[in-house]
Amino acid sequence: MLRGIILGLFITILVIFIPPISGQVGNVYSSNSALAGTIPPKELPTLAPLVEEVSPAVVNIATKGLVEVRQNPLFRDPFFRRFFGDRIPQQQRETASVGSGVIVDSVRGYIVTNSHVIAQANEIVVTLKDRRRLPAKVIGSDPETDIAILKVKPKNLKEVQYANSEELRVGDYVIAIGNPFGLGQTVTSGIVSALGRSGLGIENYEDFIQTDASINPGNSGGALVNLKGELVGINTAIIGPSGGNVGIGFAIPINMARQIMDQLIEHGEIQRGRIGVQIQDLTMELAEALGVKGESGAVVSQVMPNSSASKAGIQAGDVIVEMNGQPVIGSSDLRNKVGVLRVGDKVTIIAIRDGKELKLKMKVGARDESPKLSSNNDIPKLEGATFGKVPENHPLYGKVAGVAVIQIQPNSPAQQAGLSPGDIILSINKTRVKEPKTLLEEAQKSKNGPLLLNVRRGNGALFLLIQ
């Protein structure tokens, strides 16, 4: 009897909760329309209000310029040179390019863009969202970070608000706004795919935000914004076959860009300094050998004499793990942090030495300026060459003592003698040289005789005899 009562209750429950077959079929085919009817049109998810708020601050940039093109070889012939004298025509070609920019100061009319967008431009026109066309002038440019500042007449401009790019996380939604292929303002969306990308060889200082938001040629200099409509980065580069988008784009973090922007606005140039160390990444093996926990940090492989680091007590083998309260991930990270500081800025460094933590303070020192040898010097055999100290971005910096060949003028005696930019002159006439001044003094002694140069080039060395 009890079994019968339980069975009856179970059947009753099934009847109550299971709808008729006909209704079930009807629900399957009508589910989409029913769902659509339950959501008011105004509440449908959309990015339109955000785009409407931000897009007036994003501009299109068109440039025109003149570039020197390779001269006709005939004009290098002695016969033609005698005929034309110094009136040999210089061949130039007009160039045009398009890009994007972001209004960051509506009161003063400042626009941030990429340095490569306005490189070699002698005419720049900015087109606003309301189709106004305004002439722009360059306030300053920094090719090493690919940041440039333009200025337009500040009338009824809309600026974008800054975010703190240090708060970005992988997976955050972002929107890219720019002028791809010169089509006009275009909006794409995606996520932050990675942070702190470096070693790409795109710029000298790299700390990129990687995103899968479509970035194409013409997007350079445009805005990468978060879902609050705040500027998190300046779109700058893509990686893909033939320069096309394959879902990998890069933006300069706005925190890094702002430090460069402030200097460009104030000085018109970057007064970049150094602390005077050679560094490398901390590997698992090096961490164990140096008594460091973890794999974050930059290993000091060499300290330059009389540098800020030397005066502060930094030693080879120290592992720099923090700078001004910010963790140092690796050598590129430290280089980026130092690269955006001004000469004279105070720096507090946390380093690990023999397993113990050290707190050291120093000032950012000035970069060594490279003395130059003019093209009309008293040493005809070296005419057209520019000499200087080995620059910091040279692969042999801190490893080889000598004088670097900074620049060579085409078809100059120095080029014909076999010198190339990047060469390091170790000796002249068997006399070791470490300073450009010493090189010139020794060359002056033998200006009427042959010059025997011992040159380091790449991973090898050679002798050049200049008669």
Contact 317, 355 (CB under 8 A): no
As given in the structure block, the two tokens for residue 379 are 């040493």
Contact 439, 433 (CB under 8 A): yes
355 Cβ contact list (under 8 Å, min separation 6): 291, 292
C-alpha 412: how far from its chain's center? 33
67 Cβ contact list (under 8 Å, min separation 6): 92, 93, 95, 120
Determine which one of 193, 220, 332, 427 is catalytic.
220
Beta-ladder partners of 302:
278
Cβ atoms within 10 Å, residue 150: 26
Determine which one of 97, 115, 141, 146 is catalytic.
146
As given in the structure block, the two tokens for residue 376 are 């009309």
Question: If we measure between CA atoms, which residue out of 404, 436, 403 comes closest to residue 421?
Answer: 404
Determine which one of 55, 97, 115, 116 is catalytic.
116
> Is 207 labeled as catalytic in the residue annotation?
no
> Is 116 labeled as catalytic in the residue annotation?
yes
Question: If we measure between CA atoms, which residue out of 399, 404, 337, 422 comes closest to residue 368?
Answer: 404
Q: Three-state SS for 345?
A: coil
C-alpha 416: how far from its chain's center? 35
* 111 Ramachandran zone, left/alpha/beta (phi>0; psi -120 to 50): beta
> Is 220 labeled as catalytic in the residue annotation?
yes
- Provide the annotated active-site residues: 116, 146, 220
